[in-house]
Structure 1
Amino acid sequence: MEWIEEVGLLKTVTGITRCYDKLVKEFIVNVTTSCNVSGSPDFRKVFVRGKCVNFSPSVINTFLGRSLAEIVDEEISLSAITTELTADQVKEWPVKGLLSSAHLSVKYAILNRIGAANWAPTKHTSNVSSGLAKLIYLIGTKAKFDFGAYVFDQTVKHAETLAVKLPIGFPYLISEIILSQQPQIVTADEFPNKKASALTVDHRLLDGTHVPDVAGLAEITQGEDTISSCTLRKKHVDCLIMELTKGKNTDEDNAVAGDQAVGGATSDDDSAASS
């Protein structure tokens, strides 16, 4: 969470809870290529249900309270992203266009889970798209990037492609931006989607096939497991020694008692003989 908070995206994970699925789909359908053409009447505007919604990188950043100071806009190659996400285990982005999440290091595996739940909703978390890979790369490296421009570009892509099943990114954020400008746009029979429950991360993630880039946490976890197992074994050994010692002492006591009994009988016999 510290990475997400430092890059100013904590609100996208914990502060945005409403999403009207039908409204967002209508919004996406009405995004045109001229939305990104300077001088066009539709420049940075999307018309949905007869109402105008201002939509631009600055609108998105302002809504999230993000500062544009010290923004570093640099082109990052997919090879560099792949190398960072996999801790140098994979050097080139896969030809098929999707990176297997099994190759991700622990940090990016967790960021991918968060991204799949909040930024680019999908139930298929076994693979990572290039768009989400770039985003978690920017977050994981704590880069100073223009998040508003990223969201805007991802949204405009819907108008520039003929793909029918292109996943809608940032539906909760888009829904809240629309409602912040047009609060009466929702119809009486519409209800927001139920926000997914809080994510949990299985501790086995640190012991799996992911590269343990969170070395400190992994070492602490492994160290605690080692200490616990050693302590348990020591208890078993101590109990065994106690049982063995107890048994040995009992045998020795029995032997001493037998000797005393034999010795007592011999003395009586000797006394009788003397008499």
Structure 2
Amino acid sequence: MELIETAGLLKTVTEIGGCYGKLAREFIVNVTTNCTESGHPDFRKVFVRGRCVHFSPEIINQYLGRSTIATRNEELSLSAITNELTAGQVMEWPVKGLLSSTHLSVKYAILNRIGAANWAPTTHNSDISSGLAKLIYLIGTKAQFDFGEYVFAQTMKHTDTFAVKLPIGFPCLLSGIILSQHPQILLVDEVPSKKASLLTIDYRLLAGAHVSDVAGLAEMTQGEGTSSQKTPETPIAALIAVSKMLQDTITSCTLRKKNVDTLILQLTKGKRPLDDNAAANDQNDAGTSDDDTNASD
């Protein structure tokens, strides 16, 4: 939360206003490339329901209460971003174009969860795109950047694709910007969309393979809970929390062991393992054969 507050993005996480999905979709459908062409009559303009909505990085920053002074977004190499996000576990950005979230450190794994829900909506939480990776890198390192420019660029992506089900980024933010300019634009029967449930942080995130880089992590794993959960009020509640964490870890490790054992069986299919037990069994089998031979004689 400290990182999000420093970045000036609390309004996109904890103070989200009403989200009018239909209005946001109509806005997206009417966004054209003319909005980015300097000198064009429709430069920085989007027409929705017969009204002109002024839309630019400066307007976005102004609505969020951020500085409207243009800030040049730093050009960063994907290698540097990858190294920071994974705490040195991965040095180069994957060729496939997506980074597995299992490699992220705890801090960036949490920021990725928040980003996937609020900043760059996606149903694929197991992977992270280069755009979102750069954003959480800037937030995690407390770097100065133009968030309005990021939102504007994300919105303009809809002009370059015919994907029908492409998730709309910042639908609540877009709704707020439109309503701030045209309060009477809503239809008579139009109501805000139902808000999604609050995000929770799973204990396995703190006990898994993610590199621990959050201050006070040890105390959190000892029953004090995460930043999104209440601190247990009694020793019994604390023990129950620890027990749950350990059970989740055991379940996860048991599943992984089962998968590894299955792989071992597949690789050794048709071959007898050369271990001490196998050798002892061979000797027993040999002894049994000799006894059977002597008995027949």
TM-score of the two chains, using structure 2 as the length reference: 0.71
| Aligned twin of 1:88 | 88
1:196 positional shift: 1.8
Q: Report the identity percentage.
A: 70
* 1:211–1:188 CA distance, 2 compared to 1 (3 A): same
Alpha-carbon distance in 1 for matches of 2:142, 2:174? 24
| Aligned twin of 1:271 | none
Q: Contact between 1:72 and 1:143, CA under 8 Å: does it hold in 2?
A: no
Tell me the SS of whatever aligns to 1:52: strand
| Aligned twin of 1:212 | 212
Q: Contact between 1:19 and 1:171, CA under 8 Å: does it hold in 2?
A: yes
Tell me the SS of whatever aligns to 1:115: helix
- Structural mapping, 1:38-77, within 5 Å: 38-68=38-68, 71-77=71-77
1:41 positional shift: 0.7
Alpha-carbon distance in 1 for matches of 2:42, 2:58? 16
| Aligned twin of 1:196 | 196
Tell me the SS of whatever aligns to 1:14: coil
Alpha-carbon distance in 2 for matches of 1:46, 1:188? 22
2:181 corresponds to 1:181: yes
Alpha-carbon distance in 2 for matches of 1:223, 1:165? 42
More helix by share: 1
Tell me the SS of whatever aligns to 1:25: helix
| Aligned twin of 2:285 | none
Structure 2 residues without counterparts, runs of 5 or longer: 225-234, 240-297
* 1:29–1:211 CA distance, 2 compared to 1 (3 A): same
Q: Contact between 2:49 and 2:185, CA under 8 Å: does it hold in 1?
A: yes
Higher RCO (C-alpha under 8 Å, 6+ residues apart):
1
* 1:141–1:72 CA distance, 2 compared to 1 (3 A): farther
Per-residue CA deviations over 1:77-120 (Å, capped at 9, x if unaligned) read 22221111111111222222221111111001101111122112
Letter in 2 for 1:38: S
Per-residue CA deviations over 1:157-216 (Å, capped at 9, x if unaligned) read 2112344433221111111101111111111222211122222212331111111122x4
Alpha-carbon distance in 2 for matches of 1:223, 1:191? 44
Per-residue CA deviations over 1:229-263 (Å, capped at 9, x if unaligned) read xxx9xxxxxxxxxxxxxxxxxxxxxxxxxxxxxxx
- Structural mapping, 1:231-250, within 5 Å: none
Structure 1, 107-116 or 122-131: larger mean CA deviation = 122-131
| Aligned twin of 1:115 | 115
Q: Contact between 1:105 and 1:213, CA under 8 Å: does it hold in 2?
A: yes
Alpha-carbon distance in 2 for matches of 1:49, 1:69? 31
1:70 positional shift: 8.6
* 1:70–1:143 CA distance, 2 compared to 1 (3 A): farther
Per-residue CA deviations over 1:6-29 (Å, capped at 9, x if unaligned) read 010111111123111111111111
Tell me the SS of whatever aligns to 2:199: coil
Letter in 2 for 1:219: A
2:155 corresponds to 1:155: yes
Tell me the SS of whatever aligns to 1:166: coil
| Higher alpha-carbon Rg | 1
TM-score of the two chains, using structure 1 as the length reference: 0.76
Letter in 1 for 2:74: E
Q: Contact between 1:81 and 1:134, CA under 8 Å: does it hold in 2?
A: yes
- Structural mapping, 1:15-34, within 5 Å: 15-34=15-34
Tell me the SS of whatever aligns to 1:82: helix
Q: Contact between 1:70 and 1:144, CA under 8 Å: does it hold in 2?
A: no
**RMSD of equivalent CA atoms:** 2.1
Alpha-carbon distance in 1 for matches of 2:40, 2:55? 14
Structure 1 residues without counterparts, runs of 5 or longer: 233-275
Tell me the SS of whatever aligns to 1:156: helix
